[in-house]
Chains A and B, each alone.
Chain A
């Protein structure tokens, strides 16, 4: 099996889906000749031509709105927003139209489209290039939100997103675009949107994370298990919305303890939602309050301070210990 990094794996998904279905096309800023500023769409222009790999004028709202229009007539556009920091410009179209066309048309129309965007910190980028705003999108009914954590699930989930009958926001943790490689089969693999993955089973405590936070989480778990007898169950959330309540609930019922790790600010975030869900479905199984390790409710600091603000393995390990010893 070839070993690919996340950029190559996403490129593979796009290439294969475009080869398979001529309704799939890619549009965005610098996605053609440049192959995207992160090279995610590299080579697609040469292979599929400029009618299917569209370097658009610079206007996110029109990229989103036009992709929506294409999807109404049966195309399957994959729009790229160059950085998630500029994705606020798609909200009028996403909230106002794509999310609700199924409802507005009473099921007679739909928007099978994908919006890809790199997001998150850790790459010493400029202002507006490091935010983690998955909750903003997950808050919109009618929009699915997916965040892969490695090359293999990125490929499989993007294929699923492209084939999904509803709009999917696909957020790519750019911190791990090239951080590591995984074996990614050439043969088709389709992920399941709405399904979290138990990355590592355990009995004593559940830890939930996603995107680039999975790696520091696993590091913390490894460090903890080297010191203590506790066995930690690690859940990779993968889909923010619709959330996989079952996997979370089953795990927390089993372990009775839970820690959530996210790169996003704390207030009204995915971790808030997960705690509410545990409250609804598994409160009486808890033996300790659910603990979270998050960014803070501040304007995302420029890169000079970013590492001070991102959750790190030590903080995660401390949260696990505190919750285990409660």
Chain B
């Protein structure tokens, strides 16, 4: 019997606005001028906050944190496509998206200053707390999507972010399979920045794309230029529309680059070249959108100057708020182990507080 081809697949790549300013008007998501400016503003603010956090970390005013510089088009484009009642289930590299959802920057600052209080408002903004266990958030997103549908909340969906490295975890594959079997309203967004700390994508997977991994699970997929905010927005919007109307999950691979260190404790010169970084600085998503907005006449240098002033002030104010909030209950960890602390735990709290009094008196 001759071999028959019984299935064949392809993977598409979406680019709308490329690094040379080439713009595909047919594919353009046709955002209003206002929306374009909102999206651009979120990216600029994210960059400003990130750079400010770097300085604070260097001055010892923040602990270790993972910067987002270079990721703004992925995070802001995807987040801009969501509704405020969609849940965002991220990892730890989505700070600008958290700001877009209205979570104050102060919260992120507290988190990276070693305070659980940093996550206290996340639920109110439909944000899961920052996730450090790589890949573990993907199954959560599936369960949350299932719960929304189960509760009859038609039209709501979940967007789940994770990295290229995390796509090697069993949780990634298990979650995609669940999402597919359940046809859950979830959009998986892989922030493929091509590095997992020191491990390049080529050592992470032999697959030509990360997007194609969805094909094995019968999930629609697409690869997107992750430094093109119009494309990241459009791909996410399309996937969300499908999810909202009962069409199930999507995997979007957004190809971007972490322009600086993995975390402030990392030294990229140990494993990658300055030349490589330079080629990606040339694709920086923020100037790309800036030039485009100018070209289509919605932006100019004066507006840019005002915006820069504005976001600087907002970030300054957040830092001030953060630094003036210093009154933390030392024994708060006892409050949140269970809804009601056990008797044994209360006994431990008493010991903790008496130790604390002793050391304050010493």
Q: List the interface of chain A (C-beta within 8 A of B).
A: 29-30, 32-35, 37, 55, 57-59, 61-62, 85-86, 124-129, 266-267, 296-299, 301-306, 308-309, 312, 314-315, 318
Which residue of A is nearest B60, CB measured?
A124
Please report the C-alpha to C-alpha distance between residue A314 and residue B359 in the assembled complex, in whole angstroms.
8
Instruction: Determine the chain B residues whose CB is within 8 A of the CB of A305 once the complex forms.
Output: 114-115, 328, 330, 332-333
Least CB distance, A185 to chain B, in whole angstroms: 30
- Contact: A30 with B197, CB < 8 Å? yes
- Contact: A299 with B197, CB < 8 Å? no
Instruction: Determine the chain A residues whose CB is within 8 A of the CB of B197 once the complex forms.
Output: 29-30, 34, 37
Q: Is B271 an interface residue (CB 8 A)?
A: yes
- Contact: A58 with B362, CB < 8 Å? no
Known: A34-B197, A57-B205, A302-B115. A297 touches B170 (CB 8 A): no
- Contact: A308 with B356, CB < 8 Å? yes
Binary interface profile of B, 319-330, with partner A (CB < 8 Å = 1, else 0)? 000000000101
Known: A29-B199, A266-B348. A297 touches B337 (CB 8 A): yes
Please report the C-alpha to C-alpha distance between residue A282 and residue B272 in the assembled complex, in whole angstroms.
59
Known: A55-B199, A308-B330, A312-B359. A86 touches B169 (CB 8 A): no
- Contact: A314 with B63, CB < 8 Å? no
Instruction: Determine the chain A residues whose CB is within 8 A of the CB of B3 once the complex forms.
Output: none
Instruction: Determine the chain B residues whose CB is within 8 A of the CB of A314 once the complex forms.
Output: 358-359, 362
Binary interface profile of B, 235-266, with partner A (CB < 8 Å = 1, else 0)? 00000000000000000000000000000011
Instruction: Determine the chain A residues whose CB is within 8 A of the CB of B345 once the complex forms.
Output: 296-298
Instruction: Determine the chain B residues whose CB is within 8 A of the CB of A266 once the complex forms.
Output: 348
Which residue of A is nearest B204, CB measured?
A57
- Contact: B132 with A298, CB < 8 Å? no
- Contact: B270 with A33, CB < 8 Å? yes
Instruction: Determine the chain B residues whose CB is within 8 A of the CB of A315 once the complex forms.
Output: 355
Please report the C-alpha to C-alpha distance between residue A25 and residue B317 in the assembled complex, in whole angstroms.
52
- Contact: A301 with B198, CB < 8 Å? no
Least CB distance, A21 to chain B, in whole angstroms: 26
Please report the C-alpha to C-alpha distance between residue A72 and residue B291 in the assembled complex, in whole angstroms.
59
Q: Which of B134, B165, B271 contacts A34 (CB 8 A)?
A: B271
Instruction: Determine the chain B residues whose CB is within 8 A of the CB of A29 once the complex forms.
Output: 196-197, 199
Please report the C-alpha to C-alpha distance between residue A306 and residue B349 in the assembled complex, in whole angstroms.
15
- Contact: B359 with A296, CB < 8 Å? no
Least CB distance, B107 to chain A, in whole angstroms: 13
Instruction: Determine the chain B residues whose CB is within 8 A of the CB of A57 once the complex forms.
Output: 165, 168, 199, 203-205
- Contact: B132 with A126, CB < 8 Å? yes
- Contact: A296 with B265, CB < 8 Å? no
Q: Is B1 an interface residue (CB 8 A)?
A: no
Can you spell out 10 A-B residue pairs with CB atoms less than 8 angstroms apart? Answer: A58-B166, A58-B169, A58-B199, A62-B170, A126-B63, A129-B132, A298-B337, A304-B113, A308-B352, A308-B356
- Contact: A37 with B362, CB < 8 Å? no
Known: A37-B265, A61-B170, A298-B334. A304 touches B352 (CB 8 A): no
Instruction: Determine the chain B residues whose CB is within 8 A of the CB of A55 once the complex forms.
Output: 198-199, 203
Please report the C-alpha to C-alpha distance between residue A208 and residue B289 in the assembled complex, in whole angstroms.
62
Least CB distance, B170 to chain A, in whole angstroms: 6
Q: List the interface of chain B (C-beta within 8 A of A).
A: 63-65, 111-116, 130, 132-135, 165-166, 168-170, 196-199, 203-205, 265-266, 270-271, 328, 330, 332-334, 336-337, 344-345, 348-349, 351-352, 355-356, 358-359, 362
Add 7 more A-B contacts to A55-B199, A58-B166, A296-B351 (CB < 8 A): A57-B205, A62-B170, A126-B112, A304-B115, A305-B114, A305-B332, A314-B362
- Contact: B116 with A301, CB < 8 Å? yes
- Contact: B133 with A306, CB < 8 Å? no
- Contact: B114 with A58, CB < 8 Å? no
Which residue of A is nearest B118, CB measured?
A302
- Contact: A297 with B344, CB < 8 Å? yes
Please report the C-alpha to C-alpha distance between residue A127 and residue B263 in the assembled complex, in whole angstroms.
14
Please report the C-alpha to C-alpha distance between residue A125 and residue B266 in the assembled complex, in whole angstroms.
13
- Contact: B204 with A58, CB < 8 Å? yes
Instruction: Determine the chain B residues whose CB is within 8 A of the CB of A303 once the complex forms.
Output: 63, 114
Please report the C-alpha to C-alpha distance between residue A304 and residue B113 in the assembled complex, in whole angstroms.
7
- Contact: B271 with A33, CB < 8 Å? yes
Which residue of B is nearest A312, CB measured?
B359
Interface centre among B170, B198, B204 (most CB of A within 10 A): B198
- Contact: A86 with B359, CB < 8 Å? no
- Contact: A309 with B333, CB < 8 Å? yes
Please report the C-alpha to C-alpha distance between residue A30 and residue B165 in the assembled complex, in whole angstroms.
11
- Contact: B132 with A127, CB < 8 Å? yes
Interface centre among B114, B132, B133, B337 (most CB of A within 10 A): B114
- Contact: A296 with B348, CB < 8 Å? yes
Known: A126-B64, A308-B330. A34 touches B114 (CB 8 A): no
Instruction: Determine the chain B residues whose CB is within 8 A of the CB of A128 once the complex forms.
Output: 132-133
Least CB distance, B207 to chain A, in whole angstroms: 11
Please report the C-alpha to C-alpha distance between residue A62 and residue B130 in the assembled complex, in whole angstroms.
25
Instruction: Determine the chain B residues whose CB is within 8 A of the CB of A125 once the complex forms.
Output: 63-64
Instruction: Determine the chain B residues whose CB is within 8 A of the CB of A124 once the complex forms.
Output: 63-64, 114
Please report the C-alpha to C-alpha distance between residue A81 and residue B345 in the assembled complex, in whole angstroms.
31
Least CB distance, A233 to chain B, in whole angstroms: 25
Instruction: Determine the chain A residues whose CB is within 8 A of the CB of B355 once the complex forms.
Output: 315
- Contact: B333 with A299, CB < 8 Å? yes
Please report the C-alpha to C-alpha distance between residue A129 and residue B64 in the assembled complex, in whole angstroms.
11
Q: Which of B165, B270, B352 contacts A296 (CB 8 A)?
A: B352
Please report the C-alpha to C-alpha distance between residue A303 and residue B204 in the assembled complex, in whole angstroms.
31
- Contact: A302 with B132, CB < 8 Å? no
Please report the C-alpha to C-alpha distance between residue A116 and residue B274 in the assembled complex, in whole angstroms.
32
Known: A55-B199, A55-B203, A304-B115. A35 touches B168 (CB 8 A): no
Instruction: Determine the chain B residues whose CB is within 8 A of the CB of A126 once the complex forms.
Output: 63-65, 112, 132
- Contact: A299 with B358, CB < 8 Å? no
